Amino acid sequence: MRFFVTGGAGFIGSAVVRHLVADPANHVVNYDKLTYAGNLESLRQIANRPNYRFVQGDVCDQQTILDVLKAEDIDIVMHLAAESHVDRSIDGPEAFIETNIIGTFRMLNAARAYYTGLTGDKRAGFRFHHISTDEVFGDLPFDSGIFTEETPYAPSSPYSASKAASDHLVRAWHETYKLPVVLSNCSNNYGPFHFPEKLIPLVILNALDEKPLPIYGKGENVRDWLHVEDHAAALHLVATKGANGESYNIGGRAERTNLDVVKAICAALDARRPRKNGAPYADLITYVTDRPGHDRRYAIDPQKAERDLGWQAKHTFETGIRATVDWYLANDWWWKPIREGKYAGERLGAAVKA
């Protein structure tokens, strides 16, 4: 099949692209603006594959998107491009409104124009897959509840509000214009090539640098953790086998407090690269002022995806976090330029600027 993946140089997007390109029967077009979190180095291993093409472009550029969809004869659009960091959304929400809402609106318009021109099997097989987050559901009590596909939306940050708005737009385009769509909402991802501002890579790399390991409040907030490679496999199934108009929750069945996550990372590092002074890495844990609107707990029910699509997470949290720590220890070629501030403007790969 022929896939058009937006945000394919980002953390989850690059995992999806690597997963799809591994099958030579697929053709994958990676469409990414290359903002601060887009890194073509994450795709170094597949950059020269004959079934892969990179196009640099903005999801707000409706005409270019339509031109690429037509030129590449696309079967499935997988829309992952998004501003995704809650703290950044609190400090500067405008970029989140622009990319996550206006960008999705333009993506839908381009997809609709493309779909209108399709006929036969090509038209019957087309899908627009919108990838979202569990944060649109708000939060849960510490001791009860779980997010399902029927959970009402209750976003609490500019980021989650912008993603909720984009979800509603996708459903509206399906109902009003009969655009064939599928949606998915995922829990917190982790794994290789994760941008170092996020919790797990930040803690790993701060520990290696003997810097404080920051934890909001008392570290009691709970998240469900999903390995990014498990998520990529799930998204492939949603895009190709999901029922038209349906939504699927993707989770790792791995709820942990933030403090538990940090302690697990510290234990893995203690075993793999002990500190020179012999002290445990957990001594570096530092509690910082909680951020505004910090959701208490996310917990996602993946039963529908497991039952209807045959998907199953392969990683437990314990195996996944150890593998993630090992990856960061072995791949400083990827993260050191980011940490050292040499990243902006230095892009590798066969780029075609739209």
pLDDT at 342: 53
Of the residues 58, 61, 134, 301, only one is catalytic, namely: 134
Residues ≥6 apart with Cβ < 8 Å to 298: 134, 135, 137, 139, 140, 147, 187, 188, 222, 223, 224
pLDDT at 351: 32
Using CA atoms, how far apart are residues 50 and 76, in angstroms rounded to an integer? 19
pTM of the model: 0.93
Tokens of 139: 């939060």
pLDDT at 87: 82
Burial of 330-346, coded b for 16+ CB within 10 Å and e otherwise, reads eeeebbeebeeeebeee
Tokens of 156: 């609490």
Using CA atoms, how far apart are residues 305 and 73, in angstroms rounded to an integer? 28
Let me know: does 19 contact 51? Beta carbons within 8 Å: no
**Identity at 247, one-letter amino acid code:** S
Angle among Cα 303, 9, 33 to the nearest 5 degrees reads 120
- Surface-to-core class of residue 92, CB atoms within 10 Å of its CB (0-12 exposed, 13-18 middle, 19+ buried): exposed
DSSP 8-state symbol, 147? B
Annotation marks residue 229 as catalytic = no
Closest CA to 28 of 236, 247, 192, 185: 236
Residue 339: strand, helix, or coil: helix
Residue 309: strand, helix, or coil: helix
Domain residue spans of the chain = 2-353
Annotation marks residue 115 as catalytic = no
Determine phi and psi for 332, rounding to 5 degrees.
-70, -15
Using CA atoms, how far apart are residues 133 and 339, in angstroms rounded to an integer? 27
Using CA atoms, how far apart are residues 269 and 262, in angstroms rounded to an integer? 11
Let me know: does 226 contact 113? Beta carbons within 8 Å: no
Annotation marks residue 216 as catalytic = no
Of the residues 32, 83, 135, 295, only one is catalytic, namely: 135
DSSP 8-state symbol, 282? G
Round the CA-based radius of gyration of the chain to a whole number and report it.
20
Of the residues 31, 115, 159, 281, only one is catalytic, namely: 159
Q: Digits of tens for pLDDT over the chain (354 positions)?
A: 999 999 999 999 999 999 999 999 999 999 999 998 899 999 999 999 999 999 999 999 999 999 999 999 999 999 999 998 788 889 999 999 999 999 999 999 999 999 999 999 999 999 999 999 999 999 998 988 999 999 999 999 999 999 999 999 999 999 999 999 999 999 999 999 999 988 999 999 999 999 999 999 999 999 999 999 999 999 999 999 999 999 999 999 999 999 999 999 999 999 999 999 999 999 999 999 887 878 899 999 999 999 999 999 999 999 999 999 999 999 999 999 998 875 443 333 333 333
CATH top class, domain 2-353: alpha beta
